[in-house]
Structure 1
Amino acid sequence: MVRKVKNKNPGMSIFAAFLLMLGMAALVNKSIIMTGYQHIFEKEYDVKTSSYSSLKTTPDSSADRTTSVPPSKIEPAPSVPISPDKLNSPNAILIRLKDHTTLMQKKSEEKIYPASLTKMMTTIVAIENLPNMKEEIKLTNSTFQKLYGADASMAGFQPGEQVRAIDLLLGVMLPSGAECCIGLADQIAGSEHNLVKLMNQKAADLGMKNTHFENATGLHNIKHYTTVKDLAILLSYALQNDTFREIFTSSRHSTQPTNKNPGGITFYSTMFEELNNQNIIGGEILGGKTGYTDEAGLCLASLAKVGKQEYILISAGAKGDHHSEQYNITDALAVYNSIRNTIRSS
């Protein structure tokens, strides 16, 4: 005969049920947070050569939460005067950062090779997985082995050098140092291969549906691809992180002294170097990341402030190389100036 055991402490049962409900609510909330960016730019309508997003999000300081604005309350953004057909870049997308409204796009969902624009993902994943920005990371001989002969851009560090994590992050984004990418990968994930897994997982979490990474540097690989639309989702997300934004908008940086460079190294942003003191009327290009390979063409991800609003522009595939006119920069100046013209005429 089985005896029924009476619950001598009903209060504990109620408390346990309460904890279970809290756990379920937390799981649901996490799911909402991680899928928030998947809905950016999903609803669009066409007007002449431009398309506009009808779903906006309002970011907060947590850098990973979004609040959807009901579509019925959304007003379409004004078109920009410049036609996408006049751009040198075959692929481009312009986003108003405040509400993620797409102001202009050109083959934004066509597959591209991102070249060093890849390093935006490398950087944000590294930031989110580094417990201490001041920790020293040793760059080993193996860090450099696969980069020799690959025509990878380098920041100037040496094998055996001990470098602060923050200096490596700035080395990734400003001079586009491939050795900095590998050093961070080894420290965070044990290898570049393992860091790439984290990068692809982050892309999936953000809803970058047409993106796949094969490396952390952007060196050409036929299986390493994305779209300018996906890169806009990435940059919109990453700019909400204060450390990423500070790095992205830096024009130069001097590292701390190291065992190999007692005087430190001074980095200069490749974008600001190519910009060569040019800027936009009534606004400012705040920061950016360039990219180039023979297969990818001239690429650029940039952030600008025009009037009271911030905008991001992603462009890819422009003809030319490091020795030609920088058509990615030319396109950025033309697009951002066209926004100013729209504001002045409205």
Structure 2
Amino acid sequence: MRRRRRRRRAFAGMTAAAVLLCTLFLAVKTLYPLLSEERKADTDITYDGASPSLSVNLDNLYSPHAILIDLDSGKAVAARGSQDRIYPASLTKIMTALLAVEETDNLDETVTLSTRIFPKLYAEEASMAGFQPGERVQLRDLLYGILLPSGAECCLAFAERIAGSEEAFVKLMNEKAKELGMDSTHFCNSTGLHDGNHYSTVEDMAVLLKHALKNADFREAFTSSQHSTLPSDLHPDGFTFYSTMFEYMSSAKVTGGEILGGKTGYTEEAGLCLASLAGINGKEYILVTAKADGTHDTEQFHILDAVNVYNQVGASSNDSQ
């Protein structure tokens, strides 16, 4: 008799546990899609129903990989090779700059640039903003130094300040990429210097830029054509640097609007890359292109592609009004 009671109690306990597990499973199953959809609504690029009134052709671009996004809706207007793996080169610095502003409480603070970060950058002929070893610099100037002249020393200064080392900072970069749903991206450094395991897609880069532009400090720097630094011990009068995109453009005007800002990138393996923002007929668009032939010394084919695409957007939206 006692054995039967013990068996009944054990069976009842197992049944209760099973019911509880089933309840928890159903709750998670119901809740997870909602959480997933909330994340997707904030970061993902969608292709369905995307601006049917616009007619944009990417087939004749110099860049084999391109994606045009309606920033307000997050919908892709047009795409070409957008999910193919690319090397992002200095487009990487968009992520570095985003983490810089998100992990910094006061951009008016100053830091001293460590002398140890420079020898490697000099050896690799990395692009620099112009700051010197041991110089005391305002963090805001470093942010502009990342996004305008593509300064590698500015990237490493933020990386060391935020995470203690570039290696630790790269972990934060990959965690942020995962959070944003950039499933085809992996970073190995903060600057975009070539590494076979450092890759992305133009779609992922569009997701990143879409998110970053929500930050006011990032947007202000990204859309600036030039910036003058505060005086420092090694630059008593300060100095001015310029956007690597705007310096190649005689005019930012396009049909119906203008190109507001952009971040260029180049390595031999990556080709010419560009992530840009334009305002056209009251709307904003992101265009990310990659792997155009050319170098810093040739025609800037990635910028020509941007002008081409944004002119198409302006002409098409004018026709539809």
* Global fold match (TM > 0.5): yes
Secondary structure class of the residue paired with 2:178: helix
Q: What value does the CA root-mean-square deviation take over the aligned residues?
A: 1.9
Which residue number corresponds to residue 39 of structure 2? 35
Alignment of 1:21-170 (within 5 A): 35-36=39-40, 40-42=44-46, 53-54=47-48, 75-78=49-52, 80-170=54-144
Structure 2 counterpart of 1:187: 161
Say whether 1:324 aligns with 2:298.
yes
Task: Tell me, yes or no, if the aligned pair for 2:231 and 2:237 is still in contact at 8 Å.
Answer: yes
Highest RCO, 1 vs 2 (Cα 8 Å, sep ≥ 6): 2
- 3-state SS, counterpart of residue 84 of structure 1: coil
Which amino acid in the other structure matches residue 40 of structure 1? Answer: D
Structure-2 separation of matches of 1:79 and 1:110 = 27
8 A contact 1:147–1:179 mirrored in 2 = yes
- Secondary structure of the corresponding residue to residue 198 of structure 2: coil
Which residue identity lines up with residue 135 of structure 1 in the other structure? E
**Is this contact kept in 2: 1:34–1:206, CA < 8 A?**
no
Contact 1:117 1:299 in 2 (8 A): yes
**How far apart are 1:145 and its partner, in Å?**
2.2
CA distance in 2, matches of 1:205, 1:248: 22
Partner-residue secondary structure (3-state), 1:171: helix
In 1, the alpha carbon distance for the partners of 2:224 and 2:178 equals 28
Q: Are 2:236 and 1:262 aligned?
A: yes
Query: Where does structure 2 lack aligned partners over 5 or more consecutive residues?
Result: 1-30
One-letter code aligned to 2:263: K
1:205 aligns with 2:152: no
Query: Structure 1 residue 84: deviation in Å?
Result: 1.7
How far apart are residue 170 of structure 1 and its match? 0.4
More helix by share: 2
- Which amino acid counterpart does residue 100 of structure 2 have in structure 1? A
Contact 2:66–2:287 (8 Å) recurs in 1 = yes
Does the 8 Å CA contact 2:272/2:302 hold for their aligned counterparts? yes
Question: Which residue in 1 is equivalent to 2:249?
Answer: 275
Contact conserved, 1:41 with 1:100, CA < 8 A, in 2? yes
Distance 2:126 2:43 in 1: 35
Q: Which amino acid aligns with 2:84?
A: E
Partner of residue 19, structure 2:
none
Distance 2:65 2:153 in 1: 29
Question: Any idea what the Cα deviations from partners look like across 1:203-235, whole Å, max 9, x if unmatched?
Answer: 000000000000000000000000000000000
Partner of 2:146: 172
**Distance across 1 between alignment mates of 2:114 and 2:219:** 29
SS in 1 for 2:123: coil
Give the conservation status (yes or no) of the 8 Å contact 1:37–1:233.
Answer: no
- Give the TM-score normalised by structure 1: 0.80
Distance 2:269 2:258 in 1: 30
Contact 2:67 2:288 in 1 (8 A): yes
Distance 2:316 2:178 in 1: 36
Question: What's 1:68 paired with?
Answer: none
Q: Give per-residue Cα distances to partners, 1:99-147, cap 9 Å, x unaligned.
A: 0110000000000000000000000011110121111111111121221
Pair 1:76–1:123, CA change in 2 (3 A):
closer
Shift of 1:92: 0.2
Partners of 1:223 and 1:79 lie apart in 2 by 39
Q: 2-side partners of 1:222 and 1:37: how far apart?
A: 31
With structure 2 as the length reference, what TM-score do the two structures score? Answer: 0.86
* Unaligned runs of at least 5 residues, structure 1: 1-26, 43-52, 55-74
Give the CA deviation at 1:341: 1.3
